[in-house]
Structure 1
C-alpha cells in the first residue's frame, strides 16, 4: 500500500500531499492522522523550511471522514457513547492542534472537493488557493453529526459568523467562485495552474527572512484570540528579537545599498 501522505522538499519549500486518491483522501483514519501530525511537527522543527503547500492526490482535496467506516461503527457509537470523545481527542482533533503549533506558513492548494473535515482542513492552513473544480461544504449536518474537528472555531474566523452559520446549518456546497466571494479562498485559478500558482506564492514567502516570517505567523495566529493590549505587548517582545537577527541587518543594509538581500535565517 502506498504511503498515505507524501512529503517532498524542494529547497526551502515542502509539498505535503494527501495520498489516498481512490478514497478521495479522507483524513479520519489513524494512518492519515499520524502521518499528517508527524509531518507538521517535522516542518516546524526544520529551520531550512520556509513555506509549505498542502494538497490532495487525484480529483479531491479531501472528502473528510470515511462514511463506510462511520457506517460500520454506528452501533458501537450508539451503544458506547463514552468512547466517542476519546476517539476524537486521540484522533482527528490532534490535527488542528498540530496546525496551531506550526510557525511555518502553509498554503492549501485545493484541487477538488474539500468536504466536511476536508473543508476544515483547508481552514487550518494560512492561505487557500482553489482550482476551478474545487468545492467546499461544511456538510456534517447532512450525515446527522456536528463538526468534531474544530470547524465551529475555524470556519467563522475565515468567512465570518453569518456565512459560517449558513454553511454549517445547511451543509450546502460552495463552488470555487462562491468560496472566493466569501473569503474562504484568496484566489481561484485554472486547475492546471493550481500547483504552479501555489509554488510561486510559496517562493515569494520563502524569499523573506525566515525568522521574521515565522514570528509574524505566530503573532497572527495568537492574535486571533488576544486583546489589542496583549497583541501589542507580544509584538514588542517579538520585535525585540527581530532586531537582533542578522537577516534584519542584511535587509536594511541591502535596501540602502540598492542590492538584493541574502538571507541566512540567522
Structure 2
C-alpha cells in the first residue's frame, strides 16, 4: 500500500484503483490527488487495458479533506485536482467508476469523469460546495450538466440537494444502479469485457464521445480554478470550513 490513500492492484488486464481512507470517508489531500493522477496516467504502462476506480469502506469519495488542504496554496490544490480529471477523460484505456457509497463534492466529478459509472443502491451524489462558500470544481459544472442537463445540474449545484442513486440513474448521471452486494461483480464483468476488447478502437471511440459531449471541459476547469481560488480567500469559505469541522450550521455574511 502506498503512503497516500491511493491503493492500486493490477489483476490480469484490469487496474483497480481504490481510494483507501475509510476513516475520512475517502476525502482527498493534495498528495492523494498526485498519487491518483500518477496511477491513472501510468495505467497503460502496467499492461492494464481498463481501470476500475472505487472507494474503500462505505464511501466512494467525499471530496477534499479540509483538514489536509486548508493549509495548501489554492493553486496547488486546484491544479492537482484538475490533472486527475483531465487524466481520466484522456486516458488511453476505459475508466469505470464503481460508486460504492456517497460521492460528495469533488467525488461527484471523479465519478462523472469516468466512461462508465455504476452506483450501488445505497449511494448518493451531493454537490455540497455552496454550503461551505465555494463553487463546484473538478469539471463538475461541465460533467454534471452534460449528463443531466442545465436545469437539474443548476438545482444540484446551487441548492446542494442530495441525489439518490435511483434518481441519478433516471436522470442519466450514472449508467446503472445495482444492489450493493452486486455492484463489484457487475463492474468486474464490464471491465473484463472492455479489457478484452480492441484497445485502439475503444480509445478512439472514447475520444470521439468526449469531444462531442465534453468539448468545453477545459474551459470549465479553468473557470472553476479561477473562481475557487478567489472563493478560498473569502470569509464565507472560512466560515463554511469551520462550520464543517466543528459540526455546526454556517452563518454566512
CA–CA distance in 2 between the matches of 1:49 and 1:218? 18
Matched, 1:222 2:211: yes
Matched, 1:133 2:122: yes
List aligned pairs for 1:51-200, cutoff 5 A. 51-69=50-68, 73=71, 84=74, 86-200=75-189
In the TM superposition, residue 206 of structure 1 has moved relative to its aligned partner by: 2.1
Instruction: Assess if the C-alpha contact under 8 Å between 1:120 and 1:138 holds in 2.
Output: no
Work out which of the two has the higher radius of gyration on C-alpha atoms and give 1 or 2: 1
Instruction: Name the SS for the 2:52 alignment partner.
Output: strand
Instruction: Assess if the C-alpha contact under 8 Å between 1:63 and 1:117 holds in 2.
Output: yes
Q: 1:35: which partner in 2?
A: 35
Alpha-carbon RMSD: 1.9
Gap regions ≥5 residues in structure 1: 77-82, 227-266
CA–CA distance in 2 between the matches of 1:184 and 1:122? 9
In the TM superposition, residue 2 of structure 1 has moved relative to its aligned partner by: 5.4
Q: Deviations over 1:105-133 (max 9, x none)?
A: 11110010000111111011111111111
**Structure 1 residue ranges (4+ consecutive) displaced by more than 6 angstroms after TM superposition:** none
CA–CA distance in 2 between the matches of 1:188 and 1:166? 22
Instruction: Assess if the C-alpha contact under 8 Å between 1:88 and 1:148 holds in 2.
Output: no
Instruction: Name the SS for the 1:167 alignment partner.
Output: helix
The two structures have a TM-score, normalised by structure 2, of 0.78
CA–CA distance in 2 between the matches of 1:89 and 1:6? 22
In the TM superposition, residue 175 of structure 1 has moved relative to its aligned partner by: 1.1
The two structures have a TM-score, normalised by structure 1, of 0.75
Q: Deviations over 1:139-190 (max 9, x none)?
A: 1111111013221121111211111111101111111111111111111111
Instruction: Name the SS for the 2:58 alignment partner.
Output: coil
How many residues were matched structurally? 214
Instruction: Assess if the C-alpha contact under 8 Å between 2:99 and 2:119 holds in 1.
Output: yes
